[in-house]
Structure 1
């Protein structure tokens, strides 16, 4: 099973897929998801999930980005049906987003009639531009150009409340993530679909989904530094494994992980 590039997106198809995942990563890091999120996405594919990861170039117009990502995803799905695996068109589709990718999935689910079996939101973030872009306030762009994302954070919340149509959702909050806004999203979705939205809090930080499997090798002499390094690496690996297992458990509660 190897990554394929189709129409500028990255696709991983297991031998007999049981569902399709549309993955959208965070700003900047989401431009090469087959590299930055490689371990997590390949772990999901090993359990039978076809992964279509659509990268994007960050702009201020998040609504335009979401439209483009949905169009590309649907075109890729049709291409896979015609050229690789005909049965994929009938499989359930789940969206998974990380950070800004959550917002983009929320916009997709609000401005289209897209059919999703469910969405998973990891470390949702909906910051205004002055907080989202490092050093933005020091550059004084806001005073000169009055720049903001489209839709703005407040408008995004209104859109979700009024228009978001995907009923089944899993929200994952990571305990050491200091830019996470999952709780605010949980409040909105819980009002819309009170019995269909789950919140799970896991150990980790904003970069946990980008982790890679770690194999520890010590020297001939096991020193205190080796002990600390091994503990740190094991902690990173455990957070990543827990995240992967939580996703798989929600996607298919009866699946052996």
Structure 2
């Protein structure tokens, strides 16, 4: 399988697909998901899932981003079928999001008419713009002089509006939420309570080893020479440290996906 770019998405198509994954990454790292999330996405494809990873650039208008990535995803499906790369048979569609990608999948599931077999939401956070975008801190100096700015920059929808929208309109019933033990910006627990009220017994929460950047981990293929050297020992240690949190994430995702088939 080789990566191919179609309609603003990066695509992997296995020989006999059993499902489709629409992947959305985190803010500022989603422009090249085939690079930043390569290991995780290729593992999904190796298990038989068509991977459509839609790139996007972050702006304050998250509704517009959600609309655009959904349009690109649907256009990509149409083009894969038109080129006969993907057949017309039914394949369940799952959304997988990391960080901001979770919010986009939640908005898509709340605002647009879609068909999803489920969503996997990893390291969800829903902070206001002032906390999420570092450069906005420069406006803090106004507070020191009791000056009220002419306007306040905020995401659309705001964090509060997002939570209300999910509580009232989110339509994807089956959800797996994953948080990592050392993730200080994770807000998965609060999201879980919202979703459980909407779909009791359809929401699973798993806490795994790792941190907010764990899904970006990559396998390091370190091969020792004929004589095992101190450098080989360091290389093996680095490989073990980097890779140790990836297998639990992979296992949990596939364990949740497998019962559907």
Compute the TM-score of the two structures, normalised by the length of structure 1: 0.92
Is 1:222 the equivalent of 2:227? no
Say if 2:219 and 2:239, in contact at 8 Å, map to a contact too: no
Aligned twin of 1:172: 178
Say if 1:20 and 1:88, in contact at 8 Å, map to a contact too: no
Is 1:208 the equivalent of 2:208? no
Distance in 2, Cα, partners of 1:43 & 1:230: 21
Deviates more, 1:82-91 or 1:67-76: 82-91
Shift of 1:226: 4.2
Shift of 1:133: 1.0
Deviates more, 1:239-248 or 1:87-96: 87-96
Gaps of 5+ in 2: 143-147
Aligned twin of 1:120: 120
Is 1:243 the equivalent of 2:249? yes
For residues 8-67 of structure 1, give each alpha carbon's deviation from its aligned partner in whole angstroms, at most 9, with x where no partner exists. 211100011000000000001011000100010000000100000111011100001001
The aligned runs of 1:1-257 (5 Å cut-off) are 1-87=1-87, 90-140=90-140, 143-216=149-222, 220-222=228-230, 226=233, 230-253=236-259
- Choose 1 or 2 for highest CA Rg: 2
Say if 2:93 and 2:117, in contact at 8 Å, map to a contact too: yes
Say if 1:103 and 1:126, in contact at 8 Å, map to a contact too: yes
Say if 1:66 and 1:105, in contact at 8 Å, map to a contact too: yes
Shift of 1:253: 3.5
Say if 1:97 and 1:121, in contact at 8 Å, map to a contact too: yes
Partner SS state of residue 21, structure 1: strand
User: RMSD across aligned C-alpha pairs, in angstroms?
Assistant: 2.1
Shift of 1:82: 1.4
Deviates more, 1:240-249 or 1:83-92: 83-92
Compute the TM-score of the two structures, normalised by the length of structure 2: 0.91
For residues 54-110 of structure 1, give each alpha carbon's deviation from its aligned partner in whole angstroms, at most 9, with x where no partner exists. 110111000010011111111111111111334256210000000000000000000
For residues 166-194 of structure 1, give each alpha carbon's deviation from its aligned partner in whole angstroms, at most 9, with x where no partner exists. 00000000111111100010000011111
Distance in 1, Cα, partners of 2:32 & 2:114: 24
Partner SS state of residue 39, structure 1: helix
Shift of 1:220: 5.0
Distance in 2, Cα, partners of 1:22 & 1:187: 24
Say if 1:81 and 1:89, in contact at 8 Å, map to a contact too: no
